[in-house]
């Protein structure tokens, strides 16, 4: 990272940002064609979980390259200045990571992955019926590396 003064170096802080984020953007690549998509997600402290339809563009990219990059942000705020346009900026905390995406095949694994997504947004676990797991593809992104950046005053802990 070029700006070491903005680097977040503790995994605890990185985990807090991931847990506070509402959207995960995943970058896929197929040859020289990139594809970025915002998606809902779950997080268990080691991996991200997403779901997709049975077919589609994401699937085509995953089938050709299981390596992904992902980005999440939290605590985003626009800072304005009435007199100087060059002083407009954003405050934010962000996480960028790399990993490998793997499809979960068993109904039990798919249910666990879907529950991680629901837990992220609702704060509780759900009973996921087999009909839902039969019509949905569920994926785990095994996180291989992750970095964090803070462009704001460090919040009080």
- Within-domain flag for 57: yes
Q: How many domains does the chain have?
A: 1
156 found inside a domain: no
Q: Is 93 exposed, middle or buried (0-12, 13-18, 19+ CB in 10 A)?
A: buried
Q: Is the dihedral angle over the CA atoms 51, 53, 56, 62 positive or is it negative?
A: positive
pLDDT > 70 in the chain, percent: 92
What pLDDT, on the 0 to 100 scale, is given for residue 145?
Answer: 96
CA–CA separation, 27 and 100 (whole Å):
11
Dist CA 117 CA 24 (whole Å)? 11
Report residue 93: phi and psi, to 5°. -125, 135
pLDDT score, position 96: 96
CATH number of residue 69's parent domain: 2.30.110.10
Q: Does the residue 109 lie in any domain?
A: yes
What is the extent of the structural domain holding 12? 4-151
**pLDDT the model gives residue 15:** 95
Q: State both tokens at 63.
A: 């089938």
Q: Per residue in 121-147, pLDDT tens? A: 999 988 888 888 888 999 999 999 999
CA–CA distance, 154 with 145 (Å, rounded to integer): 23
Q: How confident is the model at residue 88 (pLDDT cuts 50, 70, 90)?
A: confident
Q: 0.95 exceeded by the pTM?
A: no
């Amino acid at each position: 990272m070029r700006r070491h003064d903005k680097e977040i170096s503790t995994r605890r802080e990185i985990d807090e940002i991931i847990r506070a984020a509402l959207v995960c953007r995943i970058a896929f690549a197929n040859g020289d064609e990139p594809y970025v998509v915002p998606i809902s997600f779950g997080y268990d402290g080691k991996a991200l979980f997403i779901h997709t339809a049975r077919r589609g563009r994401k699937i085509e990219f995953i089938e050709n390259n299981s390596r992904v990059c992902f980005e999440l942000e939290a605590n985003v705020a626009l800072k304005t200045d009435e007199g100087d346009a060059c002083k407009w900026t954003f405050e934010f905390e962000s996480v960028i990571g790399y990993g490998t995406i793997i499809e979960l095949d068993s109904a039990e694994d798919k249910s666990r992955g879907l529950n991680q997504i629901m837990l992220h947004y609702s704060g509780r676990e759900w009973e996921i019926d087999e009909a839902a797991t039969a019509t949905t593809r569920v994926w785990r992104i095994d996180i291989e590396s992750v970095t964090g950046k803070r462009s704001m005053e460090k919040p009080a802990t």
